[in-house]
Amino acid sequence: MSNRAVPLLADLIRRPSVTPIEEGVLDVLEAFLSPLGFVCTRLKFEGDGSYPVDNLYATRKGKEPGPHLLFAGHTDVVPPGDVTAWTHDPFSGEIVDGVMWGRGATDMKSGVAAFCGAVAQLAQTGALEKGTVSLAITNDEEADAVNGTKKLMEWAEAQGEKYDFAIVGEPSSFEVFGDSIKIGRRGSVSGKITVIGKQGHAAYPQRANNPMPVAAEIVRALYVPLDDGTEHFQPTNLEVTAIDTGNPASNVIPERTTLRFNVRFNDIWTGETLLAEIHRRLAAIELRGCHLEFEQLGPISRCFISPPEGHVSHLCDVMEDFNGVRPLLSTIGGTSDARFISLYCPVVECGLIGATMHQVDERVPVADVERLAEFYATYIASFLARKQA
């Protein structure tokens, strides 16, 4: 199996597919999957205020009726930053002392390569004939995520595709592979609050109206805890990420102050109910003659959780047999494309350790890629055979 997954990963890393530039990375996957019996469909989505994005949908239907497993991942990567700071070329896929170097080595070309390596092995054994395996691969996860997985899933639904379970190959492990899988993610919403007063000389405050005291009260109100957490989620947290007056002078009272914030919320809230709570808090603040404006920044990312029983429990069983330790069910971290897939079937994130993701010198031990591919093959075979028993 390593003879397929590891060289494939190197080929993927050598394509500098910084969002949303595809650079032939999907060609590499299509060339790998088509000889294995996968029907590959290339889809470009655009519009909705974002850039065009290339996507790949590949599916292989077995000879026997059976369950449908979806693997989802992304081939786009974040920029490498200062390439002179890298020990090895960020798009070389170079292997040194058993470690492969390059942007996307952990996040998450390794997950894509390992899954493809797994199905390559299983295609030789007949295990794939017991059901359907599909891959939904986008080149837009690291940025807007507007014309990627969301629209790819909508397209697949329109084609009549239905799934029993899905795996997203994002890094999910903490210390060792398999010690954690993610069964849900908190939601996210961002906003901008502008307090408008009156500019004036700092020596004559009576002739101005400083928006800063009102902004301070807004920050105080926003930081009142929103909840205590739930069974599977940590408490909702709001962070003010910027306070800006655009004022370079120390002796001028600014006309306006802008605050930006982000909230990561648990399953107590929806984006809409959370925004309503923020507006309630803002309405209770004394504006002292200032004017307040509110703007939601970007779309709301919904909170979701997959039921711990059923397919999730079965994956944990396979992982425990494989590793000797049952994985922790986690919901920490930011958002991922799993939020779009959760509308169609239960979904988990199951992949490698993400210690160097987005960093200079991103890298992955070759043995970890081989082990992930081995686990994927074990799980896919067990999943497809499960409903046939």
**Is 358 one of the annotated binding-site residues?**
yes
Domains 2-185+303-386 and 188-301 share a fold: no
Contact 257, 246 (CB under 8 A): no
Q: Residue 311 has what DSSP assignment?
A: H
- Burial of 236 per CB tally in 10 Å (0-12, 13-18, 19+): buried
- Cα–Cα dist 338/70, whole Å: 11
**Is 175 one of the annotated binding-site residues?**
no
Q: What is the pLDDT of residue 38?
A: 98
Beta-bridge partners for 211: none
Q: What is the pLDDT of residue 387?
A: 61
CA-based nearest residue to 42, from 31, 58, 59? 58
CATH class of 188-301: alpha beta
Show the CA angle centred on residue 321, arms to residues 178 and 37, nearest 5°: 80
For the domain made up of 2-185+303-386, give the CATH fold. Answer: Aminopeptidase (3.40.630)
**Is 107 one of the annotated binding-site residues?**
yes
Show the CA angle centred on residue 271, arms to residues 344 and 242, nearest 5°: 125
CA-based nearest residue to 180, from 340, 351, 300? 351
- 321 φ, ψ (degrees, to nearest 5): -65, -35
Task: Tell me the two tokens of residue 206.
Answer: 């009576």
Angle separating helix axes 109-123 and 2-13, nearest 10 degrees: 150
CA-based nearest residue to 235, from 250, 221, 247, 224? 224
- Cα–Cα dist 114/196, whole Å: 53
Show the CA angle centred on residue 344, arms to residues 27 and 375, nearest 5°: 60
Q: What is the pLDDT of residue 388?
A: 46
pLDDT by residue (tens digit) across 138-159? 999 999 999 999 999 999 999 9
**Is 368 one of the annotated binding-site residues?**
no
- Cα–Cα dist 146/354, whole Å: 24
For the chain, give every domain's residue range. Answer: 2-185+303-386, 188-301
165 Cβ contact list (under 8 Å, min separation 6): 67, 69, 70, 311, 315, 345, 346, 347, 383
DSSP 160-206: T---SEEEE-S--BSSSTTSEEE-EE-EEEEEEEEEE-B-EETT-GG
Q: What is the pLDDT of residue 386?
A: 85
For residue 383, what are the CA distances in angstroms to 35, 339, 342? 23, 22, 19
Residues of the chain with pLDDT under 50: 1-2, 388-389
Q: Residue 313 has what DSSP assignment?
A: H
- Cα–Cα dist 43/38, whole Å: 16
Displacement of CA 216 from its chain's centroid (Å): 33
Q: What is the pLDDT of residue 3?
A: 72
Angle separating helix axes 2-13 and 366-386, nearest 10 degrees: 120
**Is 314 one of the annotated binding-site residues?**
no
Please identify every residue annotated as catalytic.
76, 141
Looking up tokens 């920050």, which residue turns up?
A: 219
Beta-bridge partners for 74: 138
- Cα–Cα dist 364/13, whole Å: 12
Looking up tokens 């899933």, which residue turns up?
A: 153
CA-based nearest residue to 118, from 379, 389, 383, 386? 379
| Cis peptide preceding 20, ω within 30 of 0 | yes
pLDDT by residue (tens digit) across 27-67? 999 999 999 999 999 999 999 999 999 999 999 999 999 99
